[in-house]
């Protein structure tokens, strides 16, 4: 085969691939990347709380739920090894003496205060825990708990600074 013919065939197939690639790119809506959106502390706190709510939903629906974490440890020879271990998850609901269920929403280790001196939601039974958690998740995503979570995060930061 002639070198010029081979070159022409290679060039044609390249431009066909390039045209296909460009038509795929043209189907996307391209925008400028904003790195500040990923660094927004309000969004990060919302995502953290949503993750914890989803963990509680999984705990309420599956009795055998046990999330795992990974960490690096040194073995006897001093080599680094990655191990997986079961993460402790504390339930956010408790059974009250009168048969009702008290559900708290925690940010960190402390319950969020929805109103002055009121950190729990009273439910008639354990069956209401999952739907209530879903409603709380919707409220978090809508930004309704941003101020309460901000106060909790600020308080925790101030406590850590005072201990130093």
| Rounded CA separation 38/9 (Å) | 46
Nearest CA to 54 among 141, 146, 144, 150? 141
Q: Tell me the whole-structure pTM to 2 decimals.
A: 0.70
User: 146-163 and 41-61 helices cross at what angle (nearest 10)?
Assistant: 100
Nearest CA to 100 among 129, 71, 134? 129
26: confidence class by pLDDT, cuts 50, 70, 90: confident
Q: Above 70 in pLDDT, residue 135?
A: yes
17: confidence class by pLDDT, cuts 50, 70, 90: low
Q: Which long-range contacts (CB under 8 A, 24 or more apart) does 70-79 make?
A: none
Q: Across 35-49, 107-121, 147-161, which has the greatest mean pLDDT?
A: 107-121
Nearest CA to 105 among 94, 116, 97, 93? 93
Of 65 and 7, more confident: 65
Nearest CA to 60 among 96, 92, 107, 18? 92
Q: What percent of the chain has pLDDT over 90?
A: 48
Q: What is the pLDDT of residues 66-122, one digit of tens each?
A: 899 999 999 888 899 999 999 988 999 999 889 899 999 999 888 998 888 899 999
The structure tokens 């914890």 sit at 52
Give the CA-trace dihedral at 158, 54, 134, 36, to 10 degrees.
60
pLDDT for the residue 8: 47
How many other C-beta atoms lie within 10 A of the C-beta of residue 81? 10
pLDDT for the residue 21: 58
Q: Above 60 in pLDDT, residue 9?
A: no
pLDDT for the residue 20: 59
| Rounded CA separation 159/111 (Å) | 16
**H or E segment at 54?**
helix 41-61
SS3 call for 60: helix
């Amino acid at each position: 085969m002639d070198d010029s013919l081979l070159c022409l065939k290679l060039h044609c197939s390249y431009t066909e691939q390039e045209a296909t690639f460009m038509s795929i790119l043209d189907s996307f809506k391209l925008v400028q990347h904003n790195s500040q959106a990923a660094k927004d502390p309000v969004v990060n706190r919302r995502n953290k709380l949503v993750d914890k709510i989803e963990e509680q939903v999984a705990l309420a629906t599956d009795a055998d739920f046990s999330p795992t974490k990974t960490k690096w440890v040194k073995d006897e020879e001093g080599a680094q090894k990655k191990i997986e271990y079961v993460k402790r998850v504390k339930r956010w609901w408790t059974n009250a003496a009168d048969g009702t269920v008290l559900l708290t929403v925690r940010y960190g280790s402390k319950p969020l205060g929805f109103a002055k001196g009121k950190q729990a939601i009273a439910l008639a039974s354990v069956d209401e825990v999952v739907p209530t958690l879903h409603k709380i998740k919707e409220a978090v995503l809508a930004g309704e708990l941003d101020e309460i979570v901000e106060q909790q995060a600020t308080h925790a930061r101030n406590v850590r600074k005072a201990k130093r």
